[in-house]
Structure 1
């Protein structure tokens, strides 16, 4: 089991780097190293520091490539205690990773989570042409946030689990807050999940972004100019490449000491993550955001 000892040592070294700023390990990808460096800069700009980092790992799968080489897939959960001048909060993340171990030494290690994926064929969405009569509702932000906290690192069996699950998760949070479904059974219309079927807007990041800005009834969003105006229960949409193809959505669950959003998300399951995603391997300098206040219907 020497390979396991090597993996444990590697995980511990990586975890220690979060509190020491020693991010030079060539065994992880250049994209990951760059993302970690951006994270360090972001923390400093917010007068924030990771004062404690905890990590737990679980082996998912092990395959012998040859007599000297092991390929190991594992699940890792990280927890960071982050301190600002007069505030503490805990950020958490879960990801699947794969390590290549040769002669009981880690050669390569990388994440199996792919942030920023989007559909190559974006479905069209029918715009609202008239406002139908729907019961009025008041969006319950507390219930939406409670749902985001309950299910950020697991799957609610009442819904289908998708490989790219970010928008499905956000839709569930919004529905838990009382946002009403409409449009069934037309997948290009409205926003709904029913009988193991769903609208494009329920599951596709790009389509939910346009639904929020275009809907005149039911679930609706009011675009805000910058993130500090958001409150828990609101939504942020991400276009990592700045090419008009919106790839990711998160829900605001709290604010940091400077009044900036902290978010929960799926696919790369995250809790209380800083809103701007500069620590993502999908980040580019061309990134664009949309900030939506979820409004009562």
Structure 2
């Protein structure tokens, strides 16, 4: 079954690159169009499928798997690799693939939630308010855990803001406000503030905070530095749905970002190739401040 999935993924990718009019290739076509606006192109694509679980009680057999895509991008003669992970389900009838589609993360049920008994002793004892933001350490953490989950923290189905908060904390941002879930920014003793885990809450918290981790909103993504944050309101309805962290800049000095939920690395900040993208999308560009700013 693994070999069949791998063969299917490679065939699908090759078809999408050569014949983007195919309906199943809409996502890659959107990526190609977004790249073309930047005078960039996909040079090569690699796809790997890892089976999560199989349901073979009856035909058709369902196979839940994780597809890891790597795109080699040529942007004005500079090469870099963008990576994305999709949670998918394939159906096989008599070992013949009959359907393959992306799925909502809750199809698999709640993922395992792991917490360390001590939940990081230095966090529990950390009552600092002042700090210097170590952007390099925040980015290193974002790179280390972009497609994995640190067992020191709880894991969520919608994990984007939890992941970003971990990155900020790795940059030495102190937790403040415990135990009030509505105030501050913290995760401790199997509990957490809304600002730590909810995209819309973090979007409001960072620009409004007076101590500890805080941010200044800027108008242009080029103003962002490594370790800064972008918030996304896909529907444009005022409620922000997603959060990313800047981990690199392209040759035009525009942000490339890492994210969780739909795990991705070095993705162009605008998310025009996302299935969640709409023409009404709104962004908030947040430059992280510290006590030397």
Q: Same fold, TM exceeding 0.5?
A: yes
Kept in 1, the 8 Å contact 2:135–2:226? The answer is: yes
Once superposed, what is the RMSD of the aligned Cα atoms?
2.0
Cα distance in 2 for partners of 1:82, 1:292 equals 26
Q: How many residues align?
A: 271
One of 9, 12, 16 as aligned partner of 1:11: 9
Task: Please state whether the residue corresponding to 1:210 is helix, strand or coil.
Answer: helix
In the other structure, the counterpart of 1:58 is 50
Cα deviation for residue 70 of structure 1 reads 1.8
Relative to structure 2, which stretch is displaced further, 6-15 or 77-86?
Answer: 6-15
Cα distance in 2 for partners of 1:66, 1:257 equals 52
1:23 aligns with 2:20: yes
Query: Can you list the C-alpha shifts for 1:102-131, whole angstroms capped at 9, x where unaligned?
Result: 34443321122559xxxxxxxxxxxxxxxx
1:95 aligns with 2:86: yes
1:200-215 matches, within 5 Å, as 200-215=194-209
Task: Please state whether the residue corresponding to 2:161 is helix, strand or coil.
Answer: helix
Kept in 2, the 8 Å contact 1:95–1:113? The answer is: no
Cα deviation for residue 135 of structure 1 reads 4.2
Cα distance in 2 for partners of 1:237, 1:50 equals 26
In the other structure, the counterpart of 2:74 is 83
In the other structure, the counterpart of 2:142 is 148
Q: Which has the higher contact order (CA 8 A, sep 6+)?
A: 1
Cα deviation for residue 250 of structure 1 reads 0.1
1:94-113 matches, within 5 Å, as 94-113=85-104
Cα deviation for residue 134 of structure 1 reads 6.1
1:204-283 matches, within 5 Å, as 204-283=198-277
In the other structure, the counterpart of 1:293 is 287
Cα distance in 1 for partners of 2:257, 2:105 equals 18
Query: Can you list the C-alpha shifts for 1:12-46, whole angstroms capped at 9, x where unaligned?
Result: 122224543x23444x4xxxx44332211111111
Kept in 2, the 8 Å contact 1:205–1:248? The answer is: yes
Relative to structure 2, which stretch is displaced further, 42-51 or 157-166?
Answer: 42-51
Report the TM-score, using the length of structure 2 for normalisation: 0.87
Seen in structure 2, the aligned counterparts of structure 1 residues 17 and 234 have a Cα distance that, compared at 3 Å, is farther
Cα distance in 2 for partners of 1:178, 1:7 equals 42
1:170 aligns with 2:168: no
Cα distance in 2 for partners of 1:239, 1:135 equals 30
Query: Can you list the C-alpha shifts for 1:24-82, whole angstroms capped at 9, x where unaligned?
Result: 444x4xxxx44332211111111111112111112222223644x22111122111111
Cα distance in 1 for partners of 2:97, 2:21 equals 15
Task: Please state whether the residue corresponding to 1:202 is helix, strand or coil.
Answer: helix
Task: Please state whether the residue corresponding to 1:160 is helix, strand or coil.
Answer: coil
Kept in 1, the 8 Å contact 2:235–2:280? The answer is: yes
Unaligned runs of 5+ in 1: 116-132
Query: Can you list the C-alpha shifts for 1:117-158, whole angstroms capped at 9, x where unaligned?
Result: xxxxxxxxxxxxxxxx96421111000000000100101000
